[in-house]
A and B are shown apart, each in its own frame.
Chain A
Amino acid sequence: MTQRLPKYRSQMRIYVDIMRVIQREENRAKPTRILYGANLSHDRLVKHLDELKSLEVIEEVVDEDDKFYRLTQKGVEFLNQFRAVERFATAFGFAI
């Protein structure tokens, strides 16, 4: 079998999983939804969200005491590029 899944998710894969949860939630995701959707512990979620914010691919929005996260334009473009790369790698049988 060529497409064996890696034992651990790479940092890139975790970033993409988080961003995909946000995108799935119509670009307005609460931390709890991201936590469950991306299957992360609270500490790791906070760490990765900070990293993604510093990369300017997501941004934090506070709306009536609720905290949301949404993708920036840079984040949307990154996800599109990643999707093409993922499809390319999958076509050859390589997992990302």
Chain B
Amino acid sequence: MVGPLWFVGFDSLMEFVAFFIALAIAFQALKGYRLTKQKTLLYVNYSFALLSAGLLIDSLAGFLGILSRMLRGVIVLTLVGYTIYFLAQVLAYAILIFAYVSQTRTLSAKSVSVLVAPLAGLMALQQGPVFPIKLLGPLIEYHPVSEIVLLFLVFYVAVQTGLNYSATQDRNAFLVFLGFLLLASSHLLFILTPLGPLLFAIGHVLQLLGFVSLLTMLLRVARVK
């Protein structure tokens, strides 16, 4: 059990809602790609399709875990769900970062290092003898190390979208920036969960709010005047 007892099930429910939002964004990006053949939109599609798949699997694993609470397989189920969600997120954000890097066409050593730094750091930590920093093992669910990797990746995307907002002053750009900022904050709180289970609940609320912000942007852009 990672979060507070009263929160059991709410995390899965929130992820299930976020799944639909991520799917809607993936669909809009695909529609855009079909119309314009712009590759960056295809990357956005891949990214959010992966996120939606991860969210669905993790939320379903959570629901099934609640249903089969009495069974011994419950922990394995939620761990497998989270592992798939974690890998989906890493891939999704890496694709999004690649889209930003490829657009600016400056695939410098610095850009690449920003992308691979968290992964290299993770591999280095894996060599360490200290138990809590081992990623692989039974403590993978909302483990600080996996969440640190995600925080790095989402933070990079948040910075890119923030720069875009500062340049355009567009409300939709602000909503995207806010969305990724909230997602980054949620991962920060997941890292800090060992300090208090309530942080886990707040992290999930922030994660959902991040997706709601992206949904608001989607509804605004889809509205044809």
Contact = CB atoms under 8 A, between A and B. Distances in A.
B174 to A, nearest CB: 9
Contact of B104 (A2, A78, A91): A2
A91 B175 contact: yes
Nearest to B44: A92
23 contacts: A1-B104, A1-B167, A2-B100, A2-B103, A2-B161, A3-B167, A4-B103, A10-B38, A80-B224, A82-B35, A82-B36, A83-B224, A84-B221, A84-B222, A85-B32, A85-B36, A85-B41, A89-B36, A91-B173, A91-B175, A92-B44, A92-B161, A93-B100
A93 B221 contact: no
Given A82-B36, A83-B224, A91 B167 contact: no
Interface of A: 1-4, 10, 12, 78, 80-85, 87-96
B167 A2 contact: yes
Interface of B: 28-29, 31-32, 35-38, 40-41, 44, 99-100, 103-105, 160-161, 163-164, 167-168, 170, 172-173, 175-176, 217-218, 220-222, 224
